[in-house]
Structure 1
């Protein structure tokens, strides 16, 4: 079966909004130097991924009122929308109504200073990208006998200042942490964020936010990006590293932790092969390794505890599940 990328008609915005199309690099250009979650104010990256930026467009909208917000959410076919001019009181009202409506949207990121709210409207392929991958991880945790020592967070919202529901916050797609949390920690150690039409650069912005806003309690961020046109899934594993010490006095800059693309795995769907057969997918750069000492975090205490390997055959199964969902939607 051969996939034919869908080409939806351009979205026609409701007149009450002012809309524009912006590249992922300019979507949050307002006062970027003062924001804690915009790339200009984020730590530098080391060992940048070699994957292309895949800069799909993201719609930016000026927020006016809650009714127009929900009218747009109910009618759009976009995966990611960026609303600006959202004050904290607006954010609280939107969150309350989201719970009443039981809508499966995510407030991926909210910044009080910039008054920007990033809304994720996940579709089937998006959900398979993170849910199946996270399930592969938890299956390993269960086999190590640690099912009761791990807590799933799903899309739980985490705040820069816990207990401040109108403050800077973010929701991942999947994630979790050891239980009980050591030393008063409250953030997940593992976060997975997925993107279908969302750009890879947008996912990387989220990765930087998780590391910096959690005060480095988040230890591993996995980014799973579906490239429909390229018939490929890009999987990036990010951790933080500290530059090696240099001779002489220690400086503050030398101790700053920076995000590092520890692994980049690509999974390509071979042309003219069945979508549902795992061997239709070619995995480049091997197994995905997740370090036990970062996830729990403590050293293994017995032979059953070890680093987790999601092997090439399991990554192929994951890819086939994602692409099956894409094909079903296009049928």
Structure 2
């Protein structure tokens, strides 16, 4: 496939590596939260908040819920609460909490991807070196004091080394929410040391279109700022859609133009933080494997 990539310019941002300022990203996330359909104002009643979230969970679709004026203690209660499948994204400077309530599609894709990485790990001979975590909450490297900004991830991949931070983050949502996922990608790359790759997975409600986006940081010397600047960009993407290919009279999943197939998620040396591993060992996902995931989701409904 061609190597053409399209990264919306408003999703790219530069910042000095030595003096990171999160305000621009916080403002972008706050603006995105205004378009979220479900809003809850927190009034110091955690029971009421839990009930409201529980009422919204009675659906098979992913939901994003913006909770305004949320105190850090509320975040802690929801992160450590009785529903670990919820993802909590907290922007301390705005006292804004965005809670993801995963629907059925979400809960089917998540274990499929965990199994996929486990099988891939064994296939390239690295069984036992990778740790895969589900629903882990991570605080920003750059936050200080009581008011920590933090975020939950669908899947975190890291080395089994005791001190290893998250290297690969996977975020899943219905594709209609892909702009929000892109803000998530920026947050991970700009806020948590050690994150090398963020993989976004967006599937439409009907199971007829799926898109993967691989986000990374690119670095460059900037004479106008101190040291090196980093920019979060969509490096590669792959998209499948249901339709009829020119060479066929039957409908099937088609790899859309511009897709990278297979999509290289990252090298084992990079994602497992082990320079002794051969550089030729890559974690990849092909259009065939991506189609298997979509078909698995559709069969489970």
For residue 106 of structure 1, report the CA deviation from its aligned partner.
2.0
TM-score norm. by structure 2 comes to 0.76
For residue 210 of structure 1, report the CA deviation from its aligned partner.
0.6
SS at match of 1:67: helix
Whole-Å separation in 2 of the counterparts to 1:118 and 1:75: 16
Aligned CA distance change for structure 1 residues 37 and 153 (closer, same or farther; 3 Å): farther
SS at match of 2:135: coil
Whole-Å separation in 2 of the counterparts to 1:41 and 1:57: 11
User: Partner of 2:154 in structure 1?
Assistant: 173
2:225 pairs with one of 252, 259, 265: 252
User: Partner of 1:38 in structure 2?
Assistant: 26
For residue 170 of structure 1, report the CA deviation from its aligned partner.
0.7
User: Partner of 1:289 in structure 2?
Assistant: 264
Structure 1 stretches lacking a partner, 5+ long: 1-24, 26-32, 43-52, 272-278
* Residue 89 of structure 1 pairs with residue 67 of structure 2: no
Aligned CA distance change for structure 1 residues 57 and 301 (closer, same or farther; 3 Å): closer
Whole-Å separation in 1 of the counterparts to 2:291 and 2:200: 17
Whole-Å separation in 2 of the counterparts to 1:270 and 1:317: 16
SS at match of 2:52: helix
Whole-Å separation in 2 of the counterparts to 1:298 and 1:90: 38
For residue 230 of structure 1, report the CA deviation from its aligned partner.
8.6
**In the comparison of the two structures, how many residue pairs are matched?**
264
Aligned CA distance change for structure 1 residues 84 and 219 (closer, same or farther; 3 Å): same
From the two aligned structures, give the one with the greater strand fraction.
2
Whole-Å separation in 1 of the counterparts to 2:298 and 2:27: 31
Contact map agreement 2:29 2:183 (CA 8 A) in 1: no
Q: Any idea what the Cα deviations from partners look like across 1:265-321, whole Å, max 9, x if unmatched?
A: 1111237xxxxxxx9322232211122132123446359x61122222111101212
Structure 2 stretches lacking a partner, 5+ long: 1-10, 12-20, 245-250
Whole-Å separation in 2 of the counterparts to 1:148 and 1:164: 36
* Residue 237 of structure 1 pairs with residue 184 of structure 2: no
TM-score norm. by structure 1 comes to 0.69
User: Partner of 2:169 in structure 1?
Assistant: 191
SS at match of 2:90: strand
Pairwise CA RMSD of aligned residues? 3.3
Alignment of 1:183-222 (within 5 A): 184-185=163-164, 187-196=165-174, 199-215=177-193, 217-222=194-199
* Residue 74 of structure 1 pairs with residue 46 of structure 2: no
Q: Any idea what the Cα deviations from partners look like across 1:159-185, whole Å, max 9, x if unmatched?
A: 12599886211111012101215xx54
Contact map agreement 2:68 2:96 (CA 8 A) in 1: yes
SS at match of 2:214: strand
SS at match of 2:93: coil
Contact map agreement 2:87 2:135 (CA 8 A) in 1: no
Whole-Å separation in 1 of the counterparts to 2:132 and 2:84: 18
Contact map agreement 2:36 2:65 (CA 8 A) in 1: no
Q: Identify which range, 69-78 or 227-236, moves more after superposition.
A: 227-236
User: Partner of 2:18 in structure 1?
Assistant: none
Contact map agreement 2:36 2:66 (CA 8 A) in 1: no
Aligned CA distance change for structure 1 residues 315 and 160 (closer, same or farther; 3 Å): same
Whole-Å separation in 1 of the counterparts to 2:51 and 2:106: 22
SS at match of 1:131: helix
